[in-house]
Amino acid sequence: MEEIARGVAVFPTLIANAYLVGDAASWVLVDACKPGHERAIRKAAEHRFGPGARPRAIILTHGHFDHAGSAGPLADLWQVPIYAHARELPFLTGQAHYPPMNYAPPGFFTRLARFFPTATVDLGSRLRAFEPGPVPGMETWQLIETPGHTPGHVCFFRAEDAVLLAGDAVTTMNLDSLFATITKRKQVCRPPVPATPDWTSARDSVRRLARLRPSVIGAGHGAPMAGAADGLQHLADNFAIPAGALE
């Protein structure tokens, strides 16, 4: 793990990132990577916060399998609720399915995504919708609705030091490029192409985030990136809907 800002540490995996937010007295897990990472996440939490560390909640930016995959087993282990936007709940309780991935646009990740499952996990009764007011355990953070990648995608922004936890609203690596993906060269880029069905909303969400001028971006894919405000603004000003994608 690496601390990317005060009280914020990234738990990186090959596919996606999770974030531990807070201190030993009160912390939350933001996103939970793909299935099978529950043991590693628990060990990372105990390394950071001490033996038996238990969060107040698990917070999801959205419900895709690489962000929600280990949330259920961790919620059972810790006996804590899982929170997501109300528009994500049908997908996370087996009542609806995300749109199929679009393999028409070119790019490295589009080819790689053919090997990923299109279904997500069923979190059942563990799941709660965000309620009006502060998110439990993230009282100093602002929840920002950023649909496009999924209908209920959200990000979290801490204004006091301009830290943005972006989920998949943006990435900090160019998933369209094999070289950039392997080298993990830091760059603010659009959300993952094959799994983003609403590009007009995705573009609007990027523009909304750019107005925040974040000093640090912790995204779901790519290494956390400091000094990212100008890169995010450049993306917002030059946002390109991929060829073959639906707007």
Quote the pLDDT of residue 177: 77
Q: Which residues contact 115 (CB under 8 A, 6 or more apart)?
A: none
pTM for the whole structure: 0.94
Domain residue ranges in the chain: 2-237
Which phi-psi region, left, alpha or beta, contains residue 23 (left: φ > 0; alpha: ψ -120 to 50)?
Answer: beta
Helices (DSSP H) in the chain: which residue ranges?
A: 38-49, 65-68, 71-78, 89-92, 108-112, 178-183, 199-210, 229-237
Quote the pLDDT of residue 178: 74
Quote the pLDDT of residue 117: 75
Taking domain 2-237, whether its CATH number is 2.40.10.10 is answered by no
* Tens place of pLDDT per residue across the chain (247 aa): 899 999 999 999 988 999 999 999 999 999 999 999 999 999 999 999 999 999 999 999 999 999 999 999 999 999 999 999 999 999 999 999 999 888 777 766 777 667 677 789 999 999 999 999 999 999 999 999 999 999 999 999 999 999 999 999 999 998 887 767 777 789 999 999 989 999 999 999 999 999 999 999 999 999 999 999 999 999 999 999 988 776 5
